[in-house]
Amino acid sequence: MRIFTLILFICVTLFKLNSQNNKTALDLQKTIEVDKDDSVKVENIIQLAMLVADTNAYDAIKHLNKALELSKQLKLFKHQVRVYNRMGDLHFGLTNFNKSFLNYYKAYKLSDSIKDLKLYAFSCYNLGWVAAIEQESFEDVKYIYTSIKISEQNKYNFLRLQNYNAIANFYSTRFHRSDDKMYFDSSIKYFIRGIDLIKELKLQNRAGAFYLNMGQLFEYAKDYNSAIFYYNKTLELIASDSSRIVHCVYHIGICEYGLGKKKEALAKYLIAYNYFTRTKVIAEIKDISGSLASYYEDAGNYKEALKFKEEYHAIVLNTSKELHTTSVNNLELGFKFEKSEADLMQLKQANEINELKSKRKTLFIYALTAIGLLFVGLAYLLFRQNKLKHNSNLKLAEQNKIISEKKLEIEQSIEYAKGIQTVFLPEIDFLNDFVKESFVLYKPKDVVSGDFYWINIAKNKSEALIACADCTGHGVPGALMSMVGINALNQLHVEKKLSSPGEMLSELNNQIKNSLKQNSQKSKQQDGMDIALIKLNLIESKLWYSGANRSLFIVREKEVIEQKATKYAIGGYTSLNHKFEEHEISLQPGDFICLATDGYADQFGGVDGKKFMTKNFKKLLVNISDLKAYEQQKYLNETFEAWRGPHAQVDDVCVIGIKI
């Protein structure tokens, strides 16, 4: 029933969009026939081409060829650049890669010749997209960075959005090819930068493209639930773009297939296949044919699987050769403009004169059109408003009330959870009573935290157990895991009388796996924690350390001694009865001991929006090693906030410092 409802919704939506587009296209064609001003006619032909592109790319190309011919006759060079860029888009969708690349290149060279900075930046963006992302000629990403620099310097905000989306896609593609998390992080950074700009400019309708590509990034990472979340956010924002709607539905199907919902996935595959077959978008047909072949092969329907596999390989054979035959380098070597630089400058001057002559006429026509549309729109709105206003206000009031109540309940629940978690954490003064020169820097990302610290001091105050831990996730899920960890450590020390850090971590691993039923590889619950645990004896001037993915740092005479941890986490995929190494370390007066989670080093910030990194964290520890404990904590906190700047905090932070 849910699949039928989805199909019905998409069909109705596409029917409405096609009907609206057809009506507008007919109106534009009538306008073009009677246009007396040729420059206005060129503009209207370009608009007509863009309008019909979703339903018939070949018709759109015919319209653009007419616009190109007319703009050449009138020496309208800016219009020519726009046409070349749009032709590049359409030919790429039809897998005519040589024609696509050539049109983008013509736009790039012509915009550079007439010294139009904005058009040049946009052409660089197009050229970089097809070369660096689609052809995977990664060195050609320089064109996108050139466009980013120009758009940021000149505040071309819409182009900035396109560039941030493009560079994020570039790193997403590299992540897909290499599975290197560095590229995943870079992609997320630029997606966030774009979404922040959308919020700043209050252009929420532009967020659809970012959410769509973020969905694809998480799809590459096989985080299908997150991918579906972003694809659904995309659908909320692109109600007027039929091609993207169907593209989004297809990728939701891919994620559902990955989650085992194969029937739902098949329905979406078929919707997308039928639509793109009708609109002749070859690149999409290739991908969907591959998905359908895999589906039918898994289902044992080898006849259908063979049909779609043959279609997939036929398209790959026809397109893969062409995709990489044209490059920026061979175009730079082989392509020459027919006009000399002097001719181009004369043409530019003629273009500017023509544009000045037509400006008044164009503005007058646009003004009359706008006034007419305004009157029609106002009449329609007044009619509809009187009919719907009362019911709409009632519904909105009720919905706002429900939303406000739910929001308040959630906020109160999380605040209450914070109080519970705070009770579980030891008082900071507890550590100061043991070692006067000590501190804890504790900065949850959200209200509650997945990081925690644990302290247990012997009655004679000669010895203490101190832990710094980072649980899976942050916020409420991480906080729940932290309370499980604190309770388990208390039980191991108080009830089982364990005091050896290595033995405690081994037993903690067993307890977490048993508590969360992680006793088999098939278990879906694989949460756990990274932790550093020390036993500190002030009388003997020694400490014993054991770690699960979290190192111990000791600053001695301006040098950092790093004791590496066992490369396994507590819980998760770590096996039962796994042994964690324990290290005995003799201490010297003036030693500065530090335990920390990864939240501080992983924070994005600075001028370039990069991670702080562990190496910089070590340098920071050396710089503060001679300070008093309260000064160390203050310096660490101020440095973190200065580095973070306008960026959001990405993870919980916990740092414990002890000076001997």
| pLDDT score of 347 more than 60 | no
Q: Check: CB of residue 125 under 8 Å from CB of residue 144.
A: yes
pLDDT tens track for 204-228: 888 888 899 999 999 999 999 999 9
User: Residue 284 corresponds to which tokens in the numbers above?
Assistant: 């999409």
Of residues 365 and 256, the one with the higher pLDDT is 256
Residue 229 CB contacts under 8 Å (≥ 6 apart), including other chains: 215
d(CA 81, CA 87): 10
Of residues 446 and 501, the one with the higher pLDDT is 501
d(CA 496, CA 647): 45
Of residues 591 and 134, the one with the higher pLDDT is 591
pLDDT tens track for 401-416: 777 767 666 666 677 5
pLDDT tens track for 4-47: 444 444 444 444 444 445 546 667 776 766 665 667 788 888 88
Grouping H, G, I as helix, E, B as strand and the rest as coil, residue 582 is coil
How high is the mean pLDDT of the chain?
83
d(CA 148, CA 125): 8
| pLDDT score of 195 more than 70 | yes
Band of residue 394 on the pLDDT scale cut at 50, 70, 90: confident
pLDDT tens track for 519-544: 765 566 778 999 999 999 999 999 99
Tell me the sheet residues that pair with 605. Answer: 610
| pLDDT score of 325 more than 50 | yes
Q: Check: CB of residue 590 under 8 Å from CB of residue 572.
A: no
- Of 330, 348, 351, 328, the residue nearest 339 (C-alpha): 348
pLDDT tens track for 572-621: 888 999 999 999 999 999 999 999 999 999 999 998 889 999 999 999 99
How confident is the model at residue 639, as a pLDDT?
Answer: 96
Of residues 192 and 318, the one with the higher pLDDT is 192
How confident is the model at residue 377, as a pLDDT?
Answer: 72
Report, as an integer, the average pLDDT of 623-635.
95
Give the start-end residues of each E strand in 559-652: 559-563, 570-571, 583-586, 592-596, 604-605, 610-611
Give the start-end residues of each E strand in 431-515: 438-443, 451-457, 463-471
Angle at 529 between CA 527 and CA 535, to 5 degrees: 155
| pLDDT score of 131 more than 80 | no
| pLDDT score of 135 more than 90 | no
Is the pTM above the cut of 0.85? Answer: no
How confident is the model at residue 134, as a pLDDT?
Answer: 73
Tell me the sheet residues that pair with 76. Answer: none
Long-range pairs of 181-190 with CB within 8 A, sequence gap ≥ 24: 184/217, 184/221, 185/611, 187/217, 188/214, 188/217, 189/604, 189/609, 190/164, 190/165
Instruction: Give the lowest-confidence range in 313-317, 503-507, 614-618.
Output: 313-317
User: Residue 404 corresponds to which tokens in the numbers above?
Assistant: 């406000």
Report, as an integer, the average pLDDT of 633-637.
96
Band of residue 648 on the pLDDT scale cut at 50, 70, 90: very high
Q: Distances in Å between the alpha carbon of 497 and those of 431, 489, 492, 493, 545? A: 21, 11, 6, 5, 17
Report, as an integer, the average pLDDT of 433-462.
91
- Of 212, 216, 250, the residue nearest 232 (C-alpha): 212
| pLDDT score of 564 more than 70 | yes
User: Residue 233 corresponds to which tokens in the numbers above?
Assistant: 């956010």
d(CA 456, CA 428): 12
3-state secondary structure 77-118: HHHHHHHHHHHHHHHHHCCCHHHHHHHHHHHHHHHHHCCCHH
Q: Order of strands across the sheet with 559-563?
A: 438-443, 653-659, 592-596, 552-556, 559-563
Report, as an integer, the average pLDDT of 383-397.
72
How confident is the model at residue 361, as a pLDDT?
Answer: 60
Of residues 62 and 658, the one with the higher pLDDT is 658
What domains can you pick out in the chain, each with its CATH number? 241-320 (1.25.40), 362-410 (no CATH), 425-659 (3.60.40.10)
How confident is the model at residue 642, as a pLDDT?
Answer: 95
| pLDDT score of 327 more than 70 | no
d(CA 440, CA 428): 7
Band of residue 337 on the pLDDT scale cut at 50, 70, 90: very low
- Of 583, 600, 596, 599, the residue nearest 657 (C-alpha): 596
How confident is the model at residue 336, as a pLDDT?
Answer: 45
